[in-house]
Structure 1
Amino acid sequence: MYIRQNQKNLTRAQKKRFTAAMIELKRNGTYDAFVRTHDKYFVPDRDRKLRVGHMSPSFFPWHRRYLLEFERQLQTVDPGVSIPYWDWTTDNSPASSLWAEDFLGGTGRASDRQVMTGPFAYGTGNWTVTVGITEAAFLTRNLGRPQNPISLPTPAELQWAIDDPLYDSSPWDSTAGRGGFRNKLEGWAAPKSEKWRNHNKVHQWIGGHMTGGTAPNDPAFWLHHAFVDLLWDRWQQRHPASGYLPAAPLALGDLQRGRVIALDEPMPPWDVTPREMLGHQGIYRYE
């Protein structure tokens, strides 16, 4: 059992160990394989294919397994490393410790959004983007999107999602009609005046590489998703009688049959089911 800590509580030494393990996975090719996996399973509603990672009920269990697989690789480099989480409702500015030079580095420069500070700056020679290089070979960010400002989700926006006792609802995609925690936290469900909320809004606030299927090119991805994973825990504790939906495979004739994962159906690429990912007791805990 190991601990995932709030990033704001990490010591300088812990930050250095985490970033060093990331850089080693980048050097040996493991990191970019994870970016390719995320991109492969970034399937939008309009595609007729299976949606397992996004815009679907398996958003939470799929990313839990994805983070676990990545964390295990980090621990082959340094057994004392785990993925920290970033609470974006409180550490909500470009001046937060997350973006310091000794951790993830800051926003991109105005001319081309290139990240110029920290261990993942292109200039260090340790972080060349090779997956989805239509954008750039250097890591890009645009924290807060100053030219068209956007703010990080507020505690109230987050609570709006956690208060919903329904896990998910038909048609099990970004338009899920009757609401549900999954769509509200993933962030497609939003009031008419807004385009995104919660998880999606964070990706947009960071900008650059974080806005597409190859978002894990930015190491901030892992800290963001560790917090999303923690929030799934909070929702489960708040609604102990509510479970993963759909519980059973969708009926013949349902347009979403074969496109979303039910509780006991295997999630590619690992063939583990959502049921197997409903908890993480005995593996890690949050503090």
Structure 2
Amino acid sequence: MVYVRKNVSKLTRTERRRFVEALLEIKRSGRYDEFVRLHIAHFVGDGDRGLRAAHMTPSFLPWHRMFLLDLEEALRRVDDSVTVPYWDWTRDRRTTSVPWTDELLGGNGRPGDRRVMTGPFAHATGNWTIRVGVTAGDFLTRDLGRSRNPIDLPTKADLKEAMDDPVYDVAPWNSTVSKGFRNKLEGWGGGRDSWRNHNRVHRWVGGTMLGGASPNDPAFWLVHAFLDMQWTRWQRRHRNHRYLPAKPPGRRSDQYRRIVARHERLPPWDLTPDDLEDVSQIYRYA
């Protein structure tokens, strides 16, 4: 049966509670930390010489689609009524609006160490100790809006710029391309303050959401569900355009064996981007 992913602002009180309880349960079981480890392992930049599957690469969207599906499967094993909601940052833009409420993700970090003190994922509850990370801290941190050098969330116009591009991706298939839906949505720009869409949201949330261990903040999943919804909408809008590249770059290319083409295996799964282009029989967005 096809299930539905909802806007987090539209969840009922019961739906919010059950989503949080399922997250806390997979954290208690140790399963949640496995997701963090997986993301860290695949957080490879285009300055590295190895294969890039998750970031700065055409497979950014299918990789995170499968990552979300695995997380969702774990949640639904706990409670089959739960799905991953999405956060529409073009509408809910305040640091006190949904999802930054006490019954959902909790609020901003306190001044100084940016430790999150409210909500179910605050360290003081004893339910959300960070065990897998890239820093020594064991508590969730946030710096919503970036206190010292404030930035705004992406706008509807920022998102529209990506959605209007009919081509999925272009050579050289990395963070430097100025054309293509994928990189405009992933959000790499020309400098420290020119981050767009996905990247800008991560930086707006700040704290734990910066870097490879970003899934330690449950906000990660809501951000990527919204991105996944945009891919679904882009596919409907540009029906004659598909994931690119269709074929892997040749031996003379700088990207040889560094990116995943449409019919190549997407590590760590035994699936290809082609397999993940149509999820209409699995879930839909409300």
TM-score of the superposed pair, with normalisation by structure 1: 0.97
Structure 2: stretches of 5+ with no match in the other structure = none
Partner of 2:26: 25
Measure, in 2, the Cα distance between the counterparts of 1:161 and 1:87: 15
Residue aligned with 2:284, SS:
strand
User: Residue 202 and residue 284 in structure 1: after superposition, are their counterparts in 2 closer, same or farther (change >3 A)?
Assistant: same
Residue aligned with 1:114, SS:
coil
Measure, in 1, the Cα distance between the counterparts of 2:270 and 2:254: 23
Q: Is the 8 A contact 2:4 2:83 kept in 1?
A: yes
- Is 1:232 paired with 2:221? no
Residue aligned with 1:285, SS:
strand
C-alpha offsets along residues 151-170 of structure 1, whole Å, 9 cap, x if unaligned? 00000011011111111111
Report the residue type matching 1:255 in the other structure. D
Residue aligned with 2:4, SS:
strand
User: Residue 41 and residue 281 in structure 1: after superposition, are their counterparts in 2 closer, same or farther (change >3 A)?
Assistant: same
C-alpha offsets along residues 222-260 of structure 1, whole Å, 9 cap, x if unaligned? 000000000001111111111111001111211101000
Residue aligned with 1:267, SS:
coil
Report the residue type matching 1:251 in the other structure. G
Partner of 1:183: 183
Report the residue type matching 1:260 in the other structure. I
Tell me which moved more, 132-141 or 277-286: 132-141
Residue aligned with 2:264, SS:
coil
- Is 1:196 paired with 2:187? no
- Is 1:270 paired with 2:269? yes
The structure 1 segments of at least 4 consecutive aligned residues displaced by more than 4 Å after TM superposition are none
- Is 1:107 paired with 2:108? yes
Measure, in 2, the Cα distance between the counterparts of 1:130 and 1:193: 29
Measured after TM superposition, the shift of residue 135 of structure 1 is 4.4
**What percent identity do the matched residue pairs reach?**
55
Report the residue type matching 1:54 in the other structure. H
1:182-261 equivalences in 2 (<5 Å):
182-189=182-189, 194-261=193-260
1:34-53 equivalences in 2 (<5 Å):
34-53=35-54
Measure, in 2, the Cα distance between the counterparts of 1:264 and 1:147: 45
Alignment size in residue pairs: 285
- Is 1:123 paired with 2:130? no
Partner of 1:94: 95
Measured after TM superposition, the shift of residue 193 of structure 1 is 8.8
Measured after TM superposition, the shift of residue 195 of structure 1 is 2.3
Partner of 1:280: 279
C-alpha offsets along residues 62-120 of structure 1, whole Å, 9 cap, x if unaligned? 10011001100001110110000000111111011210001100000002100000000
Measure, in 1, the Cα distance between the counterparts of 2:136 and 2:219: 18
Residue aligned with 2:267, SS:
coil
Partner of 1:13: 14
Measured after TM superposition, the shift of residue 37 of structure 1 is 0.2
- Is 1:149 paired with 2:147? no
Measure, in 2, the Cα distance between the counterparts of 1:13 and 1:123: 24
Residue aligned with 2:159, SS:
helix
Measure, in 2, the Cα distance between the counterparts of 1:133 and 1:259: 24
1:76-95 equivalences in 2 (<5 Å):
76-95=77-96
Q: Is the 8 A contact 2:134 2:213 kept in 1?
A: no
Tell me which moved more, 231-240 or 217-226: 231-240
Measure, in 2, the Cα distance between the counterparts of 1:233 and 1:82: 17
Residue aligned with 1:264, SS:
coil
- CA RMSD of superposed structures (Å): 1.1
Measure, in 2, the Cα distance between the counterparts of 1:232 and 1:11: 26
